[in-house]
Amino acid sequence: MTNFIICDTEYTTGINARKTNWGLAGAHREIIQISAVTFNFNTPWQEAQTFDAFIKPILNPILSERTTNVTGITQQDVDNAENTEDVLWNFQQFSKNQPVYSNGNDINPIAETCGLQSIKNPLTVANWASLREPLYTALHQAVGDFDDEEYPSGELYKLLSINMNGRAHNALHDCHSIAATLQELARRGHKINLPTVPQRATW
């Protein structure tokens, strides 16, 4: 394998959903967007391929106002989207068992959605790993103290004064923000030790 993937997901949410861990009645967490960017291990910041797809939710067919406000994903986006099983199958074909890194355990809401919808998860879970701890450790070393929660994936580039356009919580933008942040950290000499997956990436 010569490639690795940076992936991000967006999912349905509501008022106080995060505080209650989506535990309130009817407050199910379903993924509604999955995006990814492929890079080469040998030349890690040459973008190879991208994947970007909205997903039609089943338990939350009507998006909450908060979901749209946070993600920018509209009702029309999900109404016109394919279902979870088809999108995840397409993503599995795209990823081809390459290592998949996300800023957090994005495989969890994917698996949760599959469970809620009673479908088999076609993704190879062992290929997924979170880069959150080594990424934020390197960022604190680079810029000092900051509140991690105020800088989700799509805002990370701001910490390093990287010039980038896009909307946070759009999954594809978030992937590019993560990649640009990793690239700049590497340029500044910060080594990122990523978790081991079938192929380990180091830079």
Classify the phi-psi angles of 118: left when phi > 0, otherwise alpha if psi is within -120 to 50, otherwise beta: left
Residue 5, pLDDT above cutoff 50: yes
pTM score of the predicted model: 0.91
In a domain, 157, yes or no: yes
In a domain, 193, yes or no: no
pLDDT (tens digit per residue) in 148-181: 999 999 999 999 999 999 999 999 999 999 999 9
| Domain housing 34 | 3-187
**Nearest to 153, CA basis, from 55, 37, 22:** 37
> How high does pLDDT run on average in the chain?
89
Contacts of 114 (CB under 8 A, 6+ apart): 84, 88, 120, 121
In a domain, 202, yes or no: no
Domain of 106: which CATH number?
3.30.420.10
In a domain, 196, yes or no: no
Please, what sign has the CA dihedral across residues 52, 16, 105, 58? negative
Tokens at 180, concatenated: 């640009």
β-bridge partners, 187: none
Length of the chain: 203
CA-CA distance, 64 to 80, in Å (whole number)? 17
**Contact (CB, 8 A) for 87 and 53:** yes
User: What is the total count of domains within the chain?
Assistant: 1
In a domain, 203, yes or no: no
In a domain, 134, yes or no: yes
pLDDT (tens digit per residue) in 58-85: 998 999 888 999 999 999 999 999 999 9
Greatest CA span in the chain, whole angstroms? 48
Contacts of 138 (CB under 8 A, 6+ apart): 185, 190, 191, 192
**Nearest to 132, CA basis, from 188, 193, 184:** 193
pLDDT for position 189:
93
In a domain, 198, yes or no: no
pLDDT (tens digit per residue) in 8-18: 999 998 655 56
Enclosing H/E stretch for 183? helix 171-187
**Contact (CB, 8 A) for 168 and 153:** yes
In a domain, 22, yes or no: yes
